Amino acid sequence: MSKKPSVEDHRETFRHLQEVAAQALEHWKLARQFHRERRDIISGLIDAGFSQADIARELGVTRQAIQKQLSL
């Protein structure tokens, strides 16, 4: 029968796991913020008279990619 590992023996690993999880959460928050900013900029360009195709061409993506950005 195997002995259950001691948490104390792996304290540093658990600390590192918590640190990585906190960093992942911060990156997720930043990604959401950047997504909102991109969507707002795209909406502003559309309000200024540009089409989704115009914006897509300038960014080197498909019109569908722009449409998806706006729908999320």
pLDDT at 34: 97
Which residues, other chains included, contact 46 with Cβ-Cβ below 8 Å and sequence gap of 6+? 52, 55
Enter the DSSP assignment of 3: P
Q: How do residues 30-69 score in pLDDT, each as one tens digit?
A: 999 999 999 999 999 999 999 999 999 999 999 999 999 9
Residue 24, amino acid? A
Residue 53, amino acid? A
pLDDT band at 1 (very low <50, low <70, confident <90, very high): low
Is the pLDDT score of 20 beyond 90? yes
DSSP the chain: -PPPPPTGGGHHHHHHHHHHHHHHHHHHHHHHHHHHHHHHHHHHHHHTT--HHHHHHHHTS-HHHHHHHHH-
